[in-house]
Amino acid sequence: MKKTNKRIPKFKSEDQEREFWSKHDSTDYLNWNKAERMTLPNLKPSVKAISIRLPEMMLEELKLLANKRDVPYQSLLKMFLAERIGTELRHSAKV
């Protein structure tokens, strides 16, 4: 077990904190053996609106599939993207 001896610095922004943790090992700062699991039920992921051009037929087919599943077509598109991104990431990790 690593001894925790470093102090976590104060950050001026989330970007600064994100940059710090991308370059530092948290086990130098925290004793994860004492961590407790917690649930944050009201936490919502950050979202960003984008514009995407799709062939009309593809959009109509997406809407048809969404209607069959009784979900909004944009939600179905996000599900499809999440599945494919996960597949691609798992595949690239094996290579």
Phi, psi at 72, each rounded to 5°: -65, 145
Q: What is the rounded CA–CA span in Å between residue 23 and residue 82?
A: 27
Extents of the domains making up the chain: 1-35, 56-94
Give the pLDDT of residue 85. 96
For each of the chain's 95 residues, which pLDDT tens digit applies? 556 578 999 999 999 999 999 999 998 998 888 889 888 888 888 889 999 999 999 999 999 999 999 999 999 999 999 999 999 999 888 77
Q: Of the candidates 28, 25, 22, 37, which has an alpha carbon nearest to the alpha carbon of residue 7?
A: 28
